[in-house]
Amino acid sequence: MQSKKKPNVSKDKKIQPDFKPTTKTMVRILRTIEESGEEAKTALSINTHLNYSRLARHILWLEEKGLVESKIDKSKIKVALTKKGKAFISTFSDA
């Protein structure tokens, strides 16, 4: 039986070296994924009220930190929280 390798969706993508996401935007993205579950980038862009290119930069940064992972599912790129991402977002209260 041959094992299938999962394609690394962001392996060729690089974020700008000086890119620093705001905590507010990071939390908004992570909370939306936490509440909605694994979600396509386009839907995530709509649900977080971020334009797609801004969201994509944040997703790349979050992937580099190990907080989210992107997967290809039926020709869509879906983003999900990792175990580390779930632990991180749980530290933020709703207050």
Please give the structure tokens belonging to residue 25: 């935007």
- Greatest Cα-to-Cα distance within the chain, rounded to the nearest angstrom: 51
- The model's pLDDT over 39-87, given as tens digits with 9 standing for 90+, comes to 999 999 999 999 999 999 999 999 999 999 999 888 888 999 999 999 9
User: DSSP character for 79?
Assistant: E
- Yes or no: say if 85 and 67 are a contact pair by the CB < 8 Å rule: yes
Name the 3-class secondary structure at 70: strand
Handedness of CA 32, 61, 9, 85 (dihedral sign): negative
- The model's pLDDT over 7-37, given as tens digits with 9 standing for 90+, comes to 555 555 555 567 788 889 999 999 999 999 9
